[in-house]
Each structure stands twice: as structure tokens, then as C-alpha cells.
Amino acid sequence: MSLPPGEKEKLLGLLREEKKLFDGFLALTVEQSAHLAADDIDAFRSSLDARQGIIAQIDALHPKIAELILSFTEDAVSPDGDVAELRGAIQGVLTEIQKKNAENESGAKKLMEQLSEEIKKLSLSQKGLESYGQAAPANVSEYFDRKF
């Protein structure tokens, strides 16, 4: 049994849309690497927000794709054909995303360590400035010995 032509086109359209979203996700992941290398935390954070939006769109597509695939027998989505080709391309993009995410995670950890060290140095500098910047405490009461 094979997919009816209308259903196959619908499935292919959904898979193309999913691949396009994953390609955008990969592009944002590569962009994050550049933000990490430039220590641009604000841009990194905004790209994380954009990625989250793409994840929401992908999550909305998955039930539709699964419904179409599960409504047919295993022969309908055999390893040969357009559907399998698109699914393979999506899997390739996912593999690239995983590699880039691992690199980005490593870079983010290094950046966090650097920032932590800078914060520690600034904290110590601030303490030093505070201790030198204060006036010596004045003795309010003074006692004089008088000889009689």
C-alpha cells in the first residue's frame, strides 16, 4: 500500500516545512557560535529566544507529520522515495545541530568561567578600594594626663 497522491503531497509539504525550520535552527546555532566568540551576550540571548520560537513551530508540526505517517502502513514510507529522502535530509541537519550545540555549550562554559573570574577580581578590587577609601575612625573621647 502506498500513500495516496494528495496525502503524499501533504506529507512532503509538511516535511519540507520542517526541514526549512531545522535549517533556520542550524543557522541560528552557527550564529550563536559567532556571538560566543565575540563575547556578545545580548545577541546570544536574543538568538536563544529566536531558537525557542522555532522549536515551538517544529513542535506544532510534529503531531501533523506523525498522524500522516501513522495513518498508513510501514510500506507507505519505505526507505526509497521522496519522503525517505526528506527525512534523511532532516536527520542530517539534526546531526549538524547537535555538533554545533556541543561546541556552543563548551564555548558558553568557557565564557562563564571567564566572566566569573572577572567578577571575582572586580569584587576584590572593590573591597580594596573601600578599605583604603575610608577615613580613619576618629576617637571621640580623648584623655590627657596632667601632672599636678
Predicted local distance difference test score (pLDDT) of residue 79: 47
**Cα within 13 Å of Cα(83), Cβ side:** 21
Has residue 13 been placed in a domain? Answer: yes
Please give the residue range of the domain that contains residue 93: 5-105
Query: Has residue 147 been placed in a domain?
Result: no
The whole-number pLDDT of residue 25 equals 93
pLDDT of residue 54: 94
Where does the pLDDT of residue 51 fall: very low under 50, low under 70, confident under 90, or very high at 90 and above? very high
Single pTM value for the model: 0.68
Structural domains of the chain, count: 1
Domain membership flag for residue 11: yes
Spell out the residues 6+ positions from residue 100 whose beta carbon is closer than 8 angstroms to its own.
26, 29, 30, 32, 33
pLDDT tier at 145, thresholds 50, 70, 90: low
Domain assignment present for residue 135? The answer is: no
Q: Report if residue 55 sits inside a domain.
A: yes
CB 97 within 8 A of CB 29: yes
Q: What is the CATH number of the domain that holds 29?
A: 1.20.58
- The answer to whether position 137 is within a domain reads no
Task: Let me know if residue 130 belongs to a domain.
Answer: no
| Across 88-92, 100-104, 120-124, least confident range | 120-124
